[in-house]
Structure formats: structure tokens, C-alpha cells
Structure 1
Amino acid sequence: MKLLYITNGINGSGGLERVLSIKASYFAEQLGYEVHILVLNNAHENPFYDFSSKIKCHSISVNGNPISYFLKYKRGVQDLVNLLKPDVILVCDDGLKGFFLPSLITTKAKWIYERHASIELNKQKGFLGRWSSRLMQMQASKFDSFVVLTNANREEWRAKNVVVIPNPLSFYPKESSDLQSKKMIAVGSHSYNKGFDTLLKIWKNIEQKYPDWQLHLFGKIDKDQTFVKLAETLELKNVQFHQPSKDIQAEYLKSSIMLLPSRSEGFGMVLIEAMACGVPCISFDCPSGPRDIISDGVDGILVENQNADAFQKAIEQLISNESLRFAMGSKAKERAKAYLPMEILKLWDNLFKIM
């Protein structure tokens, strides 16, 4: 079977790139699929994550004004589809343009859309975001299958072709964090949606009450250094910012609590990664991923979305109650087994075979 992934690029450090590296490499190495990835403007060079050498990457050049960009995009995709004649085309693009590909491209291939973000992310962008959300809803039914990551994600879409397949884990170490270090970790890009502004304001109070605890934030820092400057304004002393780490597993294993303050999530890859390392997580119950992953009070804590006071209380609870921290960490590691690649990628293989 020949697969063609269409995405913007694979050289970033985000969750989409991480998951694509796991899935595409597994299909090429373990299942013997012929796998191709199409990116824009050579965004396959120097990938952050490792991709199998059996995967063939292709790039099309798109630039200029919106009309020129669109025409080059359409022509580039069509030319490659004509050349490769794939059996299945998978669109991994949370932007608007990818939704129109089944209507623009002539092919006998089956179409799958992979949705990696909550549609709430678009609604945060004002009128244009709400307008694009409506177009996405209209176009979703054009695909043979529309794959989302959680049951909560499925409820966001009106189409009847929606299938739930979670993300696979990128690692599952034998060891676990000893949960003894006075370190907390948060992982994500420095964007409004990730909620680090809320977290830093919460941390101001935590730092005053528990001055021996540290917060480590890993993720691509925006050019304006928005949150770095906010931490300086708040005069935070125990916050450290780090660029994305290729060995993020090692950082989880050094941590005792994982914090996810996002305003929305398509899934919450960082949650299952931390849980695989035996680290209990505290997350806002944002749309649409965390509630499918965390069993509140069992293997982590879910907090009403953007309720800063409740989030702070949850942090204080895990700081002060060591036995609870240990119990949740142990159950979190067990829960993470459901996301092992061999389990998740069976679902993908089955989907390909029935199309």
C-alpha cells in the first residue's frame, strides 16, 4: 500500500511532527508500506525528530500573494499525486487549505483528514476564526475518513465519517520518576493557546508559599519572548525556560508534577508522555483532549478550564500530599499503556484495509 502524507513541514518540534515521525516510520519499517511525505518550501530538511530512511520526502514551492500561493499549492499537490498514484492520501494540516484538497485534486486515492487540534482553537481567532470553522465543518464530509484524537473531539464535528484514533506514545521507559525532586514541568510552544500566562500568574503564589520548588518550561520561545518577559515582570525567581528538548523523556523523569494550562488541546501528547514516566499531571479540563486521558483524582487532576484558583489548589495538594503523588504517578504509568504504538497503529492499519 502506498501512503502520501500532506503537511506543511516536518522540521518543527511540535506534537504533530512528533506523532507523524512515529506513525510514518512504523508504517514504513514494520508494515512495509511505501510512505511519502509532501511538505512546503523544503520544510523536510533537518527534521527535529527522527524519520525512517525508507520514507521519501517531497517539497513544493509556494509563495507570493494568496492567489499565487493557492495556485502553486494546488498544482504542486496534483503533479505529485499524478506521479505517485497513492492508495491513501492523509492530510495533516490544521489550517484551512487542507480541507479543500478532496475538492481540488483529481485522484482515485482515498482521503483521510487527521485533525490534531480542537476546533476551539479557531474560534479563539475572532470573526475570521469562526468563519473558517464553518468552512471546515462543511468540508469535513468530503473526506472518506475524518480522524480525530478523542471522543470529545468527535463531538465537535457534525460529519458522519468521524473516527477516533488517539496519538501513540513516543516512549515508554522501564523506569519512572521517583517523584522526589522539587521540580514541576510544563511543555509546549509559547503561544496564547498554551496558557503559560495563566500558569506564571499561578506560579507567583506557589513560589511564595513553596520557595524550594522550581518550574521548568520546555518549548519554542516566541520572538517577542512574551512569557519570558511576563516572568520578569512578575519577578519570578524559580522559573526556568528551555528550548525544545529531543530527550524530553529525561526531563519528565527528573520531574515530580506535570502541568498543562492550555486553553484548548487537540489531544495532549505531553500528558501521555509524562504519565508514561510515572509523573502525575494537573490539567485544565479544556476542549478537547485531557478529559479523555486523565481520570480525575485517580491518575491525575482535572481542573475547570482556566480556573486559576482551583489549579493552584491542585498544585498545593500534590506538593503537600506525597503519598497521593506517588499513587497517582503509579496509576498514570499504567494508564499510559493504552497509548503504546503497537496498540494505536493497529487501528490505523485496520482503517487503511477497510477503505
Structure 2
Amino acid sequence: MKILILVHALTGGGAERVAASWANGLSKRGHSVYVMTNMTKPQTYETSSAVKLVHIDACKIEKGSLFELIKAKLLNPFKTFVQIRSFINCENPDVIINVLYYETYAVLMGCFFAKNKVKLIQTDHNAYERPKGNGFSCIQWRNKFIDNRFFDKVTVLAHADKEILNKKGIRHVDVLHNPLFLTPVSEVPEKEKIVLAAGRINQWHVKGFDVLLKAWKTVSIHCPEWKLRIVGDGDAATINMLKKLAGNAVGSIEFVPYTPNIRDEYHKASIFVLSSRYEGWGLVMIEAMSQGCAVVACDYKGRQAEAIKDHVNGLICMPDNAEELASKIKELVNNTLLRQRLQNEGIKSVFQYSEENVAINIERLINSI
């Protein structure tokens, strides 16, 4: 099959990394794969030489320039429309996979006005419900509950979200878990006394980093030899605010800038914590498990529990509960046998998310339409 994956960039975020993994997995299975982006930043997620990259000549938005912002808002959808229609007419792909509603209407119109017909799949990577006080923006609500009606297939990360869409009358929905770009280790590497968390620090409220730091105040008292490392980009003001929440425990906490070599962080850490208040699924926890970390995951209404079975391949706790999170972390820190067992079971449980297995699932999804 000839497959076009449409994504904003191949750098920086989880969905972008997933797009690169999809391209690699499908290419290895003999498909002709194109990735179309308007990327202005250097590519950090590698794609194989067989994957063809196509660039949309989008207007760059100069920081602080209102004129450039308006220009980009007006011209970029049109440029995307022209590029999509041209690509379909010239290359005649079997299917287009759109990642995170990239220029949704431009893509839909490009497909509609092309002389060749192509199936269109929309992929979402976020939960379809939020805690009180964290509702969707108007655009997010429109994307999820209006725009999804116009695609041939919609994919979500968890069965809970499929049920929500089904109840809204959107039934062309499949669950597609994200692929693991890392090769699982054959045995648990030598670990240090490190508890690791990862995510965009400026999104601290979503990621629950404030909850994690409050929990760490308790953990550090009982486990002073352990360190907490939080990896992700964030501005100085946000990091300083979070450090204040840690109180006297701040000396045992390290904030580390985003790194494309996250594998090294997973290798060193004994424990990984997913502290999010709400999360569609949690690719980082799967990555951490693949590298021998024992995982504590805050489960948002069953989504993380699709991958983590409590006390089987990880520990589960409620979101936004610093006391319970501290208790779970201390349980792993103090119980070496439990920690080692979960590290080993975690490695075994992630093979189903390999690039090849997820590519096979995408093939089945395409064939269904």
C-alpha cells in the first residue's frame, strides 16, 4: 500500500514520535510510506531511508509579529489544501493518516477536490474527558465531537474513549495503542537510586508534577539517598515555582532539559512515575517499562490500567492524590524484591507494542475501510 502520514513535525512531542514509529514500522513491512510535515525545526525522531519526507511550504510565524501570525493563519490552510490535493493527484495514495487534527478542514477539502479518491484516518492521542476545571477548548471540542464524523476511521488510545465517541453517535472508531520505538532490554540494566518522571514541564498541571513534588517531600524524608529527576523542557519561572513546592526536599530533585536520548535516563532510573492528572494512555510509561523501570502510574478512569495491572507489571494509584502517590513510591523504594519483580514483568509485557505489531494493527485498520 501507499500510505501518507500527515504530522506537524518530527520533533518534540509524543505524537510526533509516534508518527515516526508508524512510518518506520509500516515501511519495514513493505509499504510505500510518505511523511508530510511543515517542520521548521531540525528532525529529532529518525525515520528509515525508505520513508519519503514531503515538506509543506508553510509560512513561518515570527515570534512577536502579529502580521506574520495573521498571514500564517490565513495562508497555511490554503497551502496545505493545495499540497494535499496535488499529492493525491500525483501519487494516488491508498490512505492518509492525519495526526492530531493537523489542518483538519484543509485536509478534508484537499481529499474532496482531488481527482483520485483516498481513505482518510484521523488519529487522536488524548483523552476524551477531563476532570472538572480542565475542560476542552472550543477547538478541541469541535475536533473530537464534530470533525471526527467526517473521517473514514478515527483511532483513540483507550477503550474508554471509544465508548464515549460511540455514545455520541460516532461509531467508526478503533483503539490503536502507540508503538514502542525502543527495543526492550533483555535483562534489567544496573540501576541507580533514581525516581524518574518525563514530560513538558510547562504543562505541569496536566502532568501532575506539582502532585509528584508534594509526594516527594514525604518520600525524601524516609528515603534520603534517593533522587528525583524530571526530564522535559520548561521555562525558569515554572521550574522555580515547582521547586518551591518541594520545600526542604529540593536538594534531592533535578530538573533536566528535554533530551532525544531518553533511553539513557530510563536505563539509570529504578522507578518511573506517571503522575498525570489526565492522560490518554501514557507512551512514556511503556518506554520506561521496556528499559527495566518499575512503574507507578496514576490511572485516569481506566486508561493507564489498559497497560498496567496493579502489582503484576506495575503499581496503580489515583490521580491528584499526593499521599497515595508517595505511599506507592515508598513501597517500591523499600521493597527490593517487589521492585525487581515489577521491573522484569514490565519488560515482558511491552512486546505487544512493538513497531511491527502496531504496524500490523494499522494494516488491519486500513483493510477494514
After TM superposition, the score normalised by the length of structure 1 is 0.89
Alignment check: 8 A CA contact 2:25 2:356 kept: no
* Counterpart residue identity of residue 220, structure 1: D
Alignment check: 8 A CA contact 1:150 1:267 kept: yes
SS of the equivalent of 2:269 reads coil
* Counterpart residue identity of residue 279, structure 2: E
Report Cα offsets for 1:38-67 as digits up to 9, x if no partner: 212x33x52112111222222231464244
Structure 2 match to 1:118: 127
Report Cα offsets for 1:200-231 as digits up to 9, x if no partner: 1221222222211101111122x354134421
Of residues 56, 59, 84, the one that matches 1:59 is 56
Is 1:188 the counterpart of 2:194? The answer is no
Structure 2 match to 1:161: 172
Alignment check: 8 A CA contact 1:103 1:142 kept: no
- The 5 Å alignment of 1:65-104 reads 65=70, 66-94=73-101, 97-98=103-104, 101-102=107-108
Deviation at 1:299, TM superposition (A): 1.4
After TM superposition, the score normalised by the length of structure 2 is 0.85
SS of the equivalent of 1:47 reads coil
SS of the equivalent of 1:183 reads strand
Report Cα offsets for 1:268-292 as digits up to 9, x if no partner: 1111111112221111112563111
Alignment check: 8 A CA contact 1:266 1:288 kept: no
Partner Cα distance (1:337, 1:55) in 2 = 24
Do the aligned partners of residues 123 and 85 (structure 1) sit closer, same or farther apart at CA in structure 2, a change above 3 Å counting? Answer: farther
Partner Cα distance (1:92, 1:20) in 2 = 7
Alignment check: 8 A CA contact 1:153 1:288 kept: no
Q: How many residues end up aligned between the 2 structures?
A: 347
Deviation at 1:319, TM superposition (A): 1.3
Report Cα offsets for 1:133-189 as digits up to 9, x if no partner: 14521221221111112222322323111111211211212231445x311111111
Partner Cα distance (2:245, 2:319) in 1 = 25
Deviation at 1:113, TM superposition (A): 0.9
SS of the equivalent of 1:119 reads coil
Structure 2 match to 1:349: 363
Alignment check: 8 A CA contact 1:265 1:288 kept: no
Deviation at 1:73, TM superposition (A): 3.6
SS of the equivalent of 1:325 reads helix
Structure 2 match to 1:46: 42
Deviation at 1:339, TM superposition (A): 1.5
Structure 1 match to 2:65: none
Deviation at 1:198, TM superposition (A): 1.6
Do the aligned partners of residues 354 and 119 (structure 1) sit closer, same or farther apart at CA in structure 2, a change above 3 Å counting? Answer: closer
Alignment check: 8 A CA contact 1:116 1:266 kept: yes
Gaps of 5+ in 2: 62-68
Partner Cα distance (1:290, 1:267) in 2 = 5
Do the aligned partners of residues 11 and 351 (structure 1) sit closer, same or farther apart at CA in structure 2, a change above 3 Å counting? Answer: same
Structure 2 match to 1:26: 25
Gaps of 5+ in 1: none
Partner Cα distance (1:121, 1:94) in 2 = 19
Alignment check: 8 A CA contact 1:299 1:329 kept: yes
When structure 1 is superposed on structure 2, of 61-70 and 296-305 the one drifting more is: 61-70
Partner Cα distance (1:289, 1:269) in 2 = 12
| Identity rate, percent | 27
SS of the equivalent of 2:42 reads coil
* Counterpart residue identity of residue 266, structure 2: Y
SS of the equivalent of 2:33 reads strand
Structure 1 match to 2:219: 206
SS of the equivalent of 2:146 reads helix
Deviation at 1:267, TM superposition (A): 2.0
Report Cα offsets for 1:79-114 as digits up to 9, x if no partner: 33333322101000256x427733563241001111
Is 1:105 the counterpart of 2:117? The answer is no
Do the aligned partners of residues 49 and 243 (structure 1) sit closer, same or farther apart at CA in structure 2, a change above 3 Å counting? Answer: same
Partner Cα distance (2:179, 2:161) in 1 = 16
